Amino acid sequence: MITNWKTLQIRNYHPEYYGELCSGVLAQFPVDVVLVPAAAEEAQTAGKGYEIGWDGQSLWVDASNGEMLYFALTFLQKCYQDANDYVPADLVTKYVCPTRAEYVADCSLFTPVWKHVWTPPERFLDYAEKKASFPQANRPMCWAHRGGGTYYPENSIEAIISSIYMGADIMELDFRYTKDRRIVLMHWDTLHQSTDWEFKKGKNGLPESDLLSDWTYEQLQQLRLKAGRKFRPDAITEYQIPTLEEVLQVCDGRAFFIMDKMNPAEEWPQVYDCICKTGCYEAFAFAYKMPEEMVMELRREMMEKFGKTGPYFYWRKHAGSLERELISADERLNVFREFSAGKNTAIMTNYVQDLIEYIDRNF
């Protein structure tokens, strides 16, 4: 409980950051909420974090983007719902985000914005258990569609790390070539659906083309991804388009991923080169469009050379219904029940948390 609290200020308020998710948290507070618009010259640089302060009369939150505003508000929500008593001065804090390079190199530095509202079952964070479950079918496995785009942009490094922390076993990710033959993540072959391309095309030497394949990797790094599903779909984040090397780095020793859109059998030399450069030999799951004979030979070669290799995805049955998941929470559970029979399925889902909770209750 938070005592002697009557007003909450949201400073540097940006309408594009203030979605239903944040409104839902604020509605639970029995205080007046004051939105303080940001002056253009005072607007913060996105992706820095948040600060909670107390001016003697109001608690205030200053957050750099929608995710950070939600993170700060759920911290206050957790304190408000706690059995212990807090006075506003107890809640003064500041969170500074690590840089992208820092949390790609060390995922433990990344704190997901849902941390204050959900704690995943510990057993789903056990990588050894995931490896053992793949061929042994001890339970259904959670297969995160496009890496899980709930709180973070789909096919982003941040979504992947978030899904790993939720307990997802496998990431379904979409890969494409840039103009200079770097392998990056993107579902579409065009940029306007997932990035701020429309605001940057043709400026500062960037291409006019909407096709990803007309952009070099360095040019793509100037674009930013659109927000995850729980935030406004047209909101622009600070998150960038990731590479295959980065995916290998964050998944290694934590989870597995499969490649969609790109044919890994045809592109194996470059995929293999990325695996060797990163030294991440177990994360890549041999799957789509890779004949079983080829998979068995490649896995044998990697075991002989490196002493480790990724799993064969088709040890598991591909299951799920992304369309039915959207109908209702009840229908989502029906999908999970239907496709978890036999324990040997990998269930693709957009609702990683819901599926993890279901598997935890039933297996």
Beta carbons within 8 Å of 5's beta carbon, 6+ residues apart: 31, 59, 88
Q: What is the mean pLDDT of residues 260-265?
A: 94
Q: What is the mean pLDDT of residues 263-270?
A: 95
Beta carbons within 8 Å of 122's beta carbon, 6+ residues apart: none
How confident is the model at residue 204, as a pLDDT? 95
How confident is the model at residue 233, as a pLDDT? 67
SS3 300: helix
The DSSP H or E segment spanning 54 is strand 49-54
E-only strand ranges, 157-214: 170-177, 183-185
The backbone region for 4, taken as left when phi is positive above 0, alpha when psi lies in -120 to 50, beta otherwise, is left
- Residue 262 has, within 13 A of its CA and on its CB side, a CA count of 26
Q: Which residue has the tokens 């059998």?
A: 265
Is residue 221 within 8 A of residue 240, CB to CB? The reply is yes
- The one-letter amino acid code at 340 reads S
Burial class (CB in 10 A: 0-12, 13-18, 19+), 275: buried
Comparing CA positions, the residue from 243, 193, 197, 191 lying closest to residue 213 is 191
pLDDT in tens, 69-109: 999 999 999 999 999 999 999 999 999 999 999 999 999 99
Q: Which CATH number fits domain 121-362: 3.40.50.10490, 1.10.1060.10, 3.20.20.190, 3.40.50.300?
A: 3.20.20.190
How confident is the model at residue 17, as a pLDDT? 66
Is residue 60 within 8 A of residue 54, CB to CB? The reply is yes
The mean pLDDT of the chain is 93
Q: Where are the domains of the chain?
A: 7-97, 121-362
SS3 201: coil
Q: Is the pLDDT of residue 358 over 60?
A: yes
Overall pTM surpassing 0.85 (yes/no)? yes
Tell me the C-alpha distance between 208 and 198, whole Å.
9
CA distances from 134 to 161, 207, 255, 272 (A): 20, 43, 11, 22
Q: What is the mean pLDDT of residues 16-26?
A: 80
Is residue 150 within 8 A of residue 228, CB to CB? The reply is yes
Pairing of strands 59-63, 93-96: unpaired
Q: Number of helices (H) and strands (E), helices first, in the chain?
A: 13, 11
Beta carbons within 8 Å of 195's beta carbon, 6+ residues apart: 223, 224, 225, 226, 241
How confident is the model at residue 41, as a pLDDT? 47
Q: Is the pLDDT of residue 40 over 90?
A: no
pLDDT in tens, 235-255: 889 999 999 999 999 999 999
How confident is the model at residue 43, as a pLDDT? 46
The DSSP H or E segment spanning 62 is strand 59-63
Tell me the C-alpha distance between 312 and 314, whole Å.
6
pLDDT in tens, 296-309: 999 999 999 999 99
SS3 302: helix
In sequence order, what are the beta bridge partners of 59?
A: 8, 54
Comparing CA positions, the residue from 173, 201, 325 lying closest to residue 257 is 173
SS3 12: strand
SS3 2: strand
DSSP type of residue 120: -
- The one-letter amino acid code at 236 reads I
User: Token digits for 4?
Assistant: 């002697």
pLDDT in tens, 280-294: 999 999 998 899 999
